[in-house]
Structure 1
Amino acid sequence: MLFAVLFEDNDTCATEVRNQYMQAHLDFLAKNASMIKAAGPLRQNEDTPAGGLWLVDADAPGVVDELVRKDPFWPTGLRRSVRVLTWKQVFADGSRLGT
């Protein structure tokens, strides 16, 4: 099952926290690449980070929640909120996929 995980970041000290923990966060993503199929930042504009987005392949939402809580960013308070949503891809590379 695929999940879209939407993170909203706190504005307070976000840049400092992000910079301090970025390498550990990237190492975590690499270590969990079998589940985290895509990941990247979301921005208000080119210069203003707003959060992040992951696409995760997992058996259940609880597995995704556990993965989120193991991310080195999680205990820092960087993340204001997280939403785990079931996602079904229906379009890719210019074509509709199976129903």
Structure 2
Amino acid sequence: MPYAIIARDKPGALDKRMEHRPAHIEYLKSKLDLIMAGGATTGGPDDSMDGSVLILDTEDRAVAEDFARNDPFALNGVFEAVIVTPWRKTIWDKALQG
């Protein structure tokens, strides 16, 4: 079962997020073999980025937790909270599968 990583930024962390975004993107590029989907959440002021959601293709919680822990956003204090949880794929690419 894949894992979801759901991260919420600390209040007011947009500048810090933007500062560390190049390193975050490079980190994601180095882990493309694990990433099924991902992107920023945009619930901040004026629809600015305020968190992240990633779906990882791994059956191993430790791999997902390591991925989340070593994200440059996590290492540099962007995130207020991070949830790593198993994720059951039900709808994917607009197809509902039983």
Q: In the alignment, is residue 35 of structure 1 matched against residue 34 of structure 2?
A: yes
After TM superposition, where is structure 1 displaced by more than 2 Å over at least 4 residues in a row? 45-50, 91-96
RMSD: 1.6
Quick check: which has more Rg, 1 or 2?
1
The amino acid that maps onto 2:41 is: L
Is 2:11 aligned against 1:11?
yes
Gaps of 5+ in 1: none
Total equivalences in the alignment: 97
Residues 96 and 73 (structure 1 numbering): CA distance in 2 closer, same or farther, change over 3 Å?
same
Matches within 5 A, 1:48-67: 48-67=48-67
Q: Deviations over 1:12-65 (max 9, x none)?
A: 3x1221111111100100110000221111121553322110000113211111
2:55 matched to 1:77? no
Percent identity between the two aligned chains? 25
Q: TM-score, normalised by structure 1?
A: 0.86
- Residues 74 and 94 from structure 1, CA distance in 2 versus in 1: closer, same or farther, beyond 3 angstroms? closer
Q: How much has 1:73 moved relative to structure 2?
A: 1.0
For structure 2, which runs of at least 5 residues remain unmatched after alignment? none
Counterpart in the other structure of 2:96 = 96
